[in-house]
Every structure is written in structure tokens, then in C-alpha cells.
Amino acid sequence: MAEATNMRLRLPLLCIILEVILIILFGTLVEYNVDTDAKLWNANKNQSATRHDYENEFYYRYPSFQDVHVMIFVGFGFLMTFLQRYGFSSVGFNFLIAAFSLQWATLMQGFFHGMHHGKIHVGVTSMINADFCTGSVLISFGAVLGKTSPVQLLVMAIFEVTLFAVNEFILLTILGANDAGGSMTIHTFGAYFGLVVTRVLYRPNLDKSKHRNSSVYHSDLFAMIGTIYLWMFWPSFNSAITNYGDPQHRTAMNTYYSLASCTLATFAFSALVNPEGKLDMVHIQNAALAGGVAVGTAGEMMLTPFGSMIVGFLAGTISVLGYKYLTPVLESKLKIQDTCGIHNLHGMPGVLGAVVGAVTSALASPAVYGNGLQRVFADGEPGEWNAQSRGGFQAISLVVTLGMALIGGLVTGFILKLPIYGAPPDTHCFEDGLYWEVPGEEEGHHELNEVATPNETEKLNS
């Protein structure tokens, strides 16, 4: 197995080279912002007799950052442990690419909208934004889970983080779009980028590893840990960088109700589409989260609690139906092998969220928002407000995101297809033993068991 992947040099060299480059770039370009720098913070504090230490941005944003950080490392990591023999890789590679991506994202996002006199200023908000960008990479990871080497994943992260920052700059700065929870920038972009990558990396003989591309009782239970963490903290995720006050409060509440409604829809349709009326753990693990994705764009708007519940119910419905009916079609007709079903959890609900955001923006008015219009929409001056124009820019943002994701995924996919990354062979996909020391397991005996039929295995064990 070691000869097949040759990670002895490839992975260490890439990790060391990338980290050295990051350290050099941080050393020359990155510095603390006003709320983090000792000299600047204390100089500003001394100039204002009423300013206190607890007014530092840290105390307002860090609780949200903690929640987002847990989602990235625990939520996404454990959500992907459903594969019976890929738990080490799901959590471990998630850990690796997240640790790299948040550093690279700090630089890329800084280049586009964080430069001050030639320096990138960092603080707790830039930490949250870097985690958001990392989340998009981890969504794409779900599409290629089990079929790629850690070297391929790191290379994918290099390109995706860069393109994410470009797309984010176009949407938020040039088009002035609202997308605090990332229905477009994070979920739609990450999903369709990953889907195109996995299409380019299509494996016609993946059936040779079909017996590993499934769950067992305890692996599904581990995956539910990821689901519950994501579900609990999603209100923090969507509201983490919204304006203080009513927009942040409203975003958390809208997400809260959307998730609750989505969960009931998920249970309902999961039982409904099963001939025996039984629940499918795949649906519960994933579709129950779609409500958080679908209010990512409109969360800070006056969506209303019942409006959020409608959006969540629709998201849960389309996600379950996607897992049941659309995923098999994507694989058989379009040759898209989507391991985690990211199209159903992030792709379709992300597009739904973008549409909901466009419609809600087009219906916004000073009569509804009052003086709060400008706090939600940057161009929301009551005398100059054009709701239809704002809705149009939201819709254009969705088209731009899809274009960037599809083209970027295509180019990145072909780069990852080069035979230099130690990708697993078709016969050993979804297998930890290819990249990890798995304790308590003899390789030869394991290889014999995994290709044997259940009857043959029983004979061997006896």
C-alpha cells in the first residue's frame, strides 16, 4: 500500500513548503488591527475617557467565532465519518485542510478587502471570515471524500480559497450583495465547485470499492455528532459577522426557526419516501441542516419567523428528495460521484437561499425597516432606495457564483487529475489503511476479509 500512494515524501514536502511560504507572507504582509495591537488600542483608549477594554471587538465577536470554529473542525469533520472504514481520514484530512485553508484564506481575503497601507490587518472578524472560506473548501471535500489523497486535497484548497476570495470580493464589494450566512459565497460556491471537481475525477471502476462506500451502525452514530454540533451552532454561523444589534439578533432567530422546521420536514419526507416508512440516517444527518443553509442570505432581513419556517421546510423537503431521487441520476447520467451528497445539503438549499434573498431584498422598504434599512443594506438610504435593483443585484450574484464555481472547479479538477498526487486506486477508495496506521489490524488479513463475501468471512473467522 505504501508504494501505491508514496506519501512518505509527497505529503511532508508539500506541508513544509506551504507552511514556510505562509510564514514568509505573514511576516511581510500581516499585522494586528487596531483592536489587537497593544500600542494602537491603548493609544485610542487613552484618547477617549469613556472607552473601556470590554468594548474591544473581541468580546462581541469571539463567542460567535468559537461556535464557527467548532463547526469547522468538529461539525464538518464528524459529519463525514459515516463511511465505515474512513473515519481517520474524514476527521484527520478535515483537520489538515482546514488548518491550511484558514491561513491561506487570511491572506487571500486580505489581498482583496483587508489591505491598509500595504498591510493585511487581522483580528477576530478576519478569523471568522477565514473560517467561512475554509467551510467552503470542506463542503467540496465532501464530494471527493474517499477518492482523493491528502496532497490532492491541499492542492484543491490552494485554488478554491483563491477563487472563493475573488468571488466574495465581486459579490460583496462590487455588486454590494447581502450574504452574511454565505448561501451563495460559501454553500453554493463550495458545492458546485466540488461537484465539477468530482465530475472531472470520475472513476468508472469505483464499483470495485463499493463494499466500503457505506456505513455501519457506529459510523452513522459518529456522523450524528457532527450533525448535532452543526445544527446547534448554525445560528452563530449565519449571524457571526452581521451588524451588532437587531440584524444579528434577527439572523440568529431566523436560522433557529428555519432549522427546527427543516428537521420536521426531513423526518416526514424520509419516512414518506421509504416503502416501509422507515427513517434513513443519511437524510437525518444531512437534510436536517439544509434550513441553516437556506436562510444564509436572507437571515438578517425581515424574513419573519413564519417566513423562516417556510424556507426551512422547503429546504428539508428538497434535500431529502434530492438524496432519494436526484443523487442516483447525477451518478448514472452525469457521472457525478458525490460521496456526501453535497448537492442536496449545500447546492440546492444554497440556490434556494440565494433566491429567497433576492425576493426578500426586492420586497424591502423603508416602511418595513424604518431607519434600520441602511443597517441591513449598505445602499439603503431611504430617499435613494430601489428595492427592485437590489433584488436584481442579488440574483446576478447567484449567477456569478455559479459561473465562478463551475469554471474554477473544471480547471482545478484537471490539475488534480495529473498522476502525481498519490491518489488511491479504484480498488482501495474509502479505505483508511492506505494513508493511516490502523491499530489492531493485520493488513493482509484485512485485505482478505474486505473482498470476501459474508459467507466466506464467516468461514474464515470460524
pLDDT at residue 383 in the model: 67
Per-residue model confidence (pLDDT) at position 378: 79
| Average pLDDT of span 2-7 | 57
Query: Among 288, 230, 182, 215, which Cα is nearest to 74's?
Result: 230
Is 70 exceeded by the pLDDT of residue 179? yes
- Rounded CA separation 292/275 (Å): 29
pLDDT digits (tens, 9 = 90+) for 311-341: 999 999 999 999 999 999 999 999 999 999 9
Q: Give me the helices (H) in 36-183, please.
A: 38-47, 57-70, 76-79, 87-113, 124-144, 150-169
CB 136, CB 184: distance < 8 Å: no
Distance CA(38)–CA(240), nearest Å, equals: 25
Grid cell digits, residue 387: 428595492
Is residue 460 a contact partner of residue 448, using CB atoms and an 8 Å limit? yes
Residue 371 confidence (pLDDT): 87
Tell me the helix, strand and coil percentages in the chain, rounded to 5. 75, 0, 25
Cβ proximity of 153 and 137 under 8 Å: no
Which pLDDT band holds residue 452 (cuts at 50, 70, 90)?
Answer: very low
- The pLDDT value recorded for residue 277 is 97
Pairing of strands 115-116, 30-32: unpaired
Q: Which is the CATH superfamily of the domain at 2-40+65-430?
A: Ammonium transporter AmtB like domains (1.10.3430.10)
Q: What CA–CA distance (Å, rounded) separates 273 from 307?
A: 26
pLDDT of residue 177: 95
386: its cell numbers = 430601489
Number of H helices, E strands in the chain: 22, 3
pLDDT at 196: 98
- What pLDDT shows up at residue 50? 66
C-alpha cell recorded at residue 310: 417556510
Q: How confident is the model over 179-204, as a mean pLDDT?
A: 97
> What SS3 state is found at 257?
helix
The pLDDT of 30-37, averaged and rounded, is 94
Nearest Cα to Cα of residue 124 among 41, 173, 164, 64 = 64
pLDDT at 54: 87
Please compute the mean of the pLDDT values over residues 212-230 and round it to a whole number: 96
For the cut 90, the answer to whether the pLDDT of residue 385 exceeds it is: no
- Tell me what the mean pLDDT of segment 428-449 comes to: 73
**How much is the pLDDT for 395?**
97
| DSSP 8-state symbol, 73 | I
What per-residue confidence (pLDDT) applies to 381?
67
Q: Where are the domains of the chain?
A: 2-40+65-430
| Digit-coded pLDDT (tens) for 90-121 | 999 999 999 999 999 999 999 998 788 899 99
Q: If you average pLDDT over residues 63-87, what whole number do you get? A: 97
Q: Which residues of 159-184 are buried (b: 16+ CB within 10 A; e: fewer)?
A: bbbbbbbebbbbbbeeeebbbbbbbb
Q: Which residue has the cell 450566512?
A: 181
Digit-coded pLDDT (tens) for 281-316: 999 999 999 999 999 999 999 999 999 999 999 999
The pLDDT value given to residue 449: 40
SS3 122: strand
> Is pLDDT above 70 for 171?
yes
Mean pLDDT, residues 196-225 taken together: 95
Q: Could you give the CA distance from residue 157 to residue 102 in angstroms, rounded to a whole number? A: 10
pLDDT of 201 above 80: yes
Contact 372, 246 (CB under 8 A): yes
If you average pLDDT over every residue of the chain, what do you get?
Answer: 92
For residue 321 the three cell numbers come to 428528495
The answer to whether 72 touches 100, Cβ cutoff 8 Å, is no
User: Do residues 318 and 349 make contact, with C-beta atoms less than 8 angstroms apart?
Assistant: yes
Cell of 279: 427513517
pLDDT at position 451 is: 40
CA separation for the pair 263, 288 (Å, rounded): 5
User: C-alpha grid cell for residue 20?
Assistant: 514556510
Cα end-to-end span (Å), the chain: 27
**pLDDT tens, position by position, 398-434:** 999 999 999 999 999 999 999 999 999 999 999 999 9
Cα–Cα distance measured from residue 184 to residue 161, given in angstroms and rounded to the nearest whole number: 15
Q: In whole angstroms, what is the distance from residue 435 CA to residue 115 CA? A: 39
pLDDT given at position 460: 33
C-alpha cell at 458: 464467516
**pLDDT-based confidence at residue 440 (cuts at 50, 70, 90):** confident
Q: What is the pLDDT of residues 132-148, one digit of tens each?
A: 999 999 999 999 999 99
Which cell numbers in the block locate residue 459? Answer: 468461514
> How long, in residues, is the chain?
462
Q: What is the pLDDT of residue 442?
A: 55
Mean pLDDT, range 66-94, rounded to an integer: 97
Q: Which residues contact 449 (CB under 8 A, 6 or more apart)?
A: 457, 460
Number of Cβ atoms within 10 Å of the Cβ of 375: 17
Please tell me the distance from the alpha carbon of residue 333 to that of residue 338, in angstroms, as a whole number: 13
